[in-house]
Amino acid sequence: MCLAAIESRREGPRGRRFDNGSAQMTTKTDPIDTAVAAVRAGADGWVRTPLSQRRDLLTKINALTAAHAEEWVRTAATIKGLAADSLLLGEEWMSGPYSVLTATAALAETVGALAEGRSPVDGFTIVDAPGNRSAVKVLPHGIFDALLLNGFTAEVWTTPGVDASQVRAKAGLAQRDPTTSNGVGAVLGAGNIFSIAPLDVLYQLFAYNRTVVLKLNPITDALLPVLEKIFAPAIAQGWVAIVTGGADVGKALVEHPDITAIHMTGSEITHDAIVFGTGEEGARRKAANEPLIDKPITSELGGISPTIVVPGTWSDADLKFQARHVATQRLHNNGYNCVAAQVVVISADWDQKSAFLAELRAAFADAPARPDYYPGSAARVAAAKQAYPQAESFGRNGDRTLVPGVRVGADEHALHTEYFAPVLGVIELPGTGTEFLRTAVRTANEEFHGTLGVNILVHPKTIRALGGGLDEAIAELRYGTIAVNAWTAVGYLTATASWGAFPGHTLDDVQSGIGVVHNALLIDNPERTVIRGPFRPAPRAIFNGEFTLSPVPPWFVTNRTAPTTGRRLTEFAAAPGWGKLPALFASALRG
């Protein structure tokens, strides 16, 4: 879930010392030099820190995240202009402290397993996946997963040629040799989903064995005190430093001679500006693949995410629920998610096409209003409306936009321009059944820019009718996360899942980025995560032959108890226990 890391030109605070002092810096270069020097010195201590103490560090960060979760969400609401009683605060609980709590807990288990001489994937089922791949079943894992996310599953598929024994032997990445330092990493933080930056810091520390300087996106400057409290044990040791500022600070950080690697979450435009420069010279360098920076660069850059709606025979309740599902995929966080669905792919020959689109329009009209806090949103909505005169507007400000009539083509705006705003296109393809699914997969692979995530909505009866067709489609899709009857964001929320673009992008054709993050089991060579969820919510699912206890998911934009459920999920993640389940279930079932 991305956003431009340093593209904002607004200047923020100039930064702080990270030598356990608190003096405010006043020059543009001193904060970077100070921060980099601190974590460069701290790198020596990091490689001398045994795995047992690293596990303790994660436990401390976990406890501090829980202690400051309320402050985190309150600050997030201020940044995004949400009222204290807004139903949308559930998004901030789940995509904020909850995500860091589950990640630190899962990483602590991984590091603990390595400290005891075990593989992090011990206890996880590994099965064969299509194309000579292996799949690690990461969700559910344990009784609480099975209860809280009942009906949802997740698998991490490896690249071809990796068998189960290799998965077990290589899981742990750099923590298998923690005494070898990989230098100092720079993380250019995102400004849309507030757990992205801290999760990226953790991945640099543990997957790569690097100490880290995090540069916050200016949008998130107000979170600096919260993040400093959460990472206090690592900051005190010189393992993490946090700086703020505008594009000039980001540029100084990535160009600093003591920074050995870079990770960014942002736009492809920002990535290319960092790697190749701007203007005509930057374009020339990109065409010649002559990067300005000779350092490893990993990235998560978003893209154009499709939602494929496979035609079938749906009830009125199915049409309404799945239309709200698609609306959530676009309107969660007002569309400021790099894995937000941008184009719905439907069958032109589906006899329920008009009924589904009517429900989708209703879902757009009924979605809660929210501020367009992310810079440039209104301009991007306007650009979409200019490209598509047939665009339909919804909501008090008319910013929620549905664009029917998107077509396949190299110059098609909606297929090649990430809107990062509440704009959803609709493209119609011919056929039904296997014919439609194959056409939709081919279109998603060849016509959509980016490979971060794709969603497939398909009725259980249609799955049975397709035979092995759905599994073939999943294997054929070239996306980093594939969700069947779920939103790919479930993969983001699953700490043990991998998150990132499909492998194979290069600096001069980066699309959705290079490398993965999250991946708390530290699996080597992950290719994709495959999520599956229930087509219907409980109890209706049970009445129709699907076994799931999952009600309307708390991340749905229409969920009426999302703030309470999100808070209780966060409290449960901080200290899991049977006694917390009744209140949590009660809130979830009322959603």
> What does the pLDDT look like over 193-246, one tens digit per residue?
999 999 999 999 999 999 999 999 999 999 999 999 999 999 999 999 999 999
- Confidence tier at 538 by pLDDT (50, 70, 90): confident
Position 18 scores a pLDDT of 33
Contacts (Cβ under 8 Å, ≥6 apart) of 250:
5, 6, 188, 215, 274
Position 12 scores a pLDDT of 34
- What span, in angstroms and rounded, lies between the C-alpha atoms of 336 and 377? 9
pLDDT at 15 over 90: no
Of 30, 1, 2, 37, nearest to 16 by C-alpha is: 30
Domains of the chain with CATH codes:
30-118+177-300 (3.40.605.10), 303-479 (3.40.309.10)
Contacts (Cβ under 8 Å, ≥6 apart) of 420:
3, 267, 302, 335, 336, 338, 340, 374, 376, 377, 380
Instruction: Please compute the mean of the pLDDT values over residues 561-569 and round it to a whole number.
Output: 96
> What does the pLDDT look like over 280-305, one tens digit per residue?
999 999 999 999 999 999 999 999 99
- Confidence tier at 539 by pLDDT (50, 70, 90): confident
**Ramachandran sector of residue 261 (left: φ over 0; alpha: ψ -120 to 50; beta: rest):** beta
- Strands (DSSP E) contained in 235-303 are 240-243, 261-265, 297-300
Average pLDDT score, the chain? 93
> What does the pLDDT look like over 140-154, one tens digit per residue?
999 999 999 999 999
Position 4 scores a pLDDT of 40
- Confidence tier at 19 by pLDDT (50, 70, 90): very low
pLDDT at 474 over 90: yes
Of 224, 217, 285, nearest to 253 by C-alpha is: 217
Asked if 121 and 522 touch (Cβ cutoff 8 Å), the reply is no
Instruction: Please compute the mean of the pLDDT values over residues 417-431 and round it to a whole number.
Output: 97
Position 191 scores a pLDDT of 95
Asked if 465 and 440 touch (Cβ cutoff 8 Å), the reply is no
